[in-house]
Structure 1
Amino acid sequence: MSLSAVHGTLSSLKSCQADIGTGMDIVTDVAMDLAETQDQGDNPGIKEMEAMILECAKLDREINHFVDIVQQVTSEVNTQQQPEAMFSLSAKVKEQFTERIARLSDAELQSHPKVVAFMDSMKNSLNQANQESVENTEELDEDIAVTQSQVNFTCPLTQVEMVNPMKNKKCNHHYDEAAILGLIKAKQGQKKKCRCPVVGCGNTDVRQSDLIPDQMLRRKIQSQKRHSSRT
């Protein structure tokens, strides 16, 4: 196997990771639907969704480690070396991967961004359901609500409605995923820290690890779009 074939395989794995992320978003949506319509406390369906999210997070983590190890091992290979040198790569990757996975703890999965988003979504869904059961008022002022939503749904970078809102754990501000990741990458290329783009925010070091997908906000944005299309 050539190095170009290895790189092609890694590219396929990264595409697979994107599909895993999409699947985790879908699982979170289903769990939120269950939480909004049933009792969350003892709901076996939600427990199954949580277990599924953790399994996906585990697979995503393993792919990350595998890709990292393959890249490290192949970077040490001189392209001018004899073909037989390639045969030892597979064993080396397998050995290092096995050792690294053995050191991992399932408890670490709780810090996976998609798992954090799932747990936050479940908590918010339960709080919302409890609030609605106490305050059974509907459509207090739809015009004001829509105006407020439009402000909250606007990305401070693109100035348009967010598609995949990300919440910053440090300052609690939201940005569209593509926009904020693009800004972080650009700043890294300039060897600079990324400042939160919200005017007046004192957070001067926004990092990708600080960002959590906000599934509740994404659902609200989608709900408003459906409402707007009907009206």
Structure 2
Amino acid sequence: MPGRSSTSAGFISFSGIESALSSLRNFQSCISSGMDTVSSVALDLVETQTEVSSEYSMDKAMVEFARMERDLSHYVKAVQSTISHVKEERPEKIPDLKLLVERKFLALQDKNSDADFQNNEKFVQFKQQLRELRKQYGMHADRDATGSEGIDEDMIVTQSQTNFICPITQLEMKKPVKNKVCGHCYEEEAIVRMIESKHKRRKKACCPKIGCSHTDMKMSDLVPDEALRRAIECHSKKKKRLLPE
């Protein structure tokens, strides 16, 4: 790795390394965008009832992205840890920075497991949204397993309509967000306004869903619920088609 030294002062410049770290963080953003794209395509496949093998390919792609994100995160941590250690030690000679980073990186990699993916927020959100969209569409898995073709999709949608109503506005949501802590959904603008209003008055924001015990909501608790948004849009399109011309 690049670096200059002044042995009399025991000083090493890390400007080149910091620049490389910046590039790695940009790559992390690219991985994040890739995961968003895969998630969107997978939801499209469920929505259009495309064959399961295509959806499975998206699942595999998301696993690969999650693995890359984990490995890259470990490498960034290894570099940062090495820099901090060298700055504290202030050696007279330039150490083998590459070797030090590799050792720290391998130490982190040795602790890897498939369970790590459960800590990747985008991966977890991807799995949850696929599950929710399958549920909203009544998924064909149940129909195929029984060989029945007569499931009433309108009945399934009707049973889900209560999930379409924001507990704050009491209107059908257009841009739903989910609370990661309690799992309840709200219209984004309404819940953001509510949280901001409470926090300005130095009060805790409680989940507005009746009976919910989550009493300290934060903005970071909210994530877009793409699966629910798609289900609501599909339901709205069905309603429009049924309206007399």
Tell me the TM-score normalized by structure 2. 0.61
Determine the structure 2 residue equivalent to 1:97: 105
Q: Deviations over 1:68-88 (max 9, x none)?
A: 222122112339956842x42
Give the AA of the match of 1:107: A
| Equivalence map 1:1-231=2 (5 Å) | 1=2, 2-38=13-49, 43-78=52-87, 81=90, 84-85=93-94, 87-130=95-138, 134-137=151-154, 148=165, 153=173, 165=177, 167-170=179-182, 172-173=184-185, 195-196=204-205, 198=207, 202-204=213-215, 213-217=224-228, 219=230
Distance 1:104 1:62 in 2: 9
Q: Deviations over 1:44-69 (max 9, x none)?
A: 11111001101111111122222222
Contact 2:137–2:153 (Cα < 8 Å) also in 1? no
Contact 2:207–2:213 (Cα < 8 Å) also in 1? no
Distance 1:100 1:80 in 2: 22
Note closer, same or farther for the CA distance 1:12–1:116 as it changes in structure 2 (3 Å cut): same
Q: Which of structures 1 and 2 has the larger relative contact order (alpha carbons within 8 angstroms, sep 6+)?
A: 1
Contact 2:45–2:55 (Cα < 8 Å) also in 1? yes
Unaligned runs of 5+ in 1: 155-160, 188-193, 225-231
Q: Deviations over 1:212-231 (max 9, x none)?
A: 5533245469989xxxxxxx
Distance 1:4 1:222 in 2: 50
Tell me the TM-score normalized by structure 1. 0.64
Note closer, same or farther for the CA distance 1:195–1:77 as it changes in structure 2 (3 Å cut): farther
Contact 1:35–1:126 (Cα < 8 Å) also in 2? yes
Tell me, what secondary structure is at the counterpart of 2:137? helix
Give the AA of the match of 1:64: S
Distance 1:174 1:91 in 2: 50
Unaligned runs of 5+ in 2: 3-12, 141-149, 236-245
Note closer, same or farther for the CA distance 1:208–1:19 as it changes in structure 2 (3 Å cut): farther
Note closer, same or farther for the CA distance 1:172–1:26 as it changes in structure 2 (3 Å cut): same
